[in-house]
Amino acid sequence: MNNHELLDRALAGLGNMPDPSVPDGFMEGVWARAGQFEAKASGRARFALFAAMAFVGLGAGIGSTAAPASAETASFRLVDGADLSPAALLHVEP
């Protein structure tokens, strides 16, 4: 038997097979699985954003606590020597 006869028999066997059918609910299952993949991906994105924000926040907090703090006198013209009490602002005599 040569290769052409084997090929003809194989093709004839394939031709006699019934048509494949898609089970009911197959596409709903496909879309449900795609939704699960999308939910996992968005969850990972939210976690990465949270981790980045926490890293930046902690870095800013640690970096700002090492800065020296010093008290300085106010040098604003509005505040120097001005009486900012409500009575003075409303020009009410006590």
Q: What is the DSSP letter of 17?
A: S
Cβ-contact 90, 83 below 8 angstroms: no
Q: What is the DSSP letter of 62?
A: H
Q: Could you tell me the mean pLDDT of each successive run of 10 residues in the chain, 94 residues long?
A: 82 78 87 95 97 93 72 60 71 66
Cβ-contact 94, 87 below 8 angstroms: yes
What's this model's pTM, rounded to 2 decimal places? 0.45
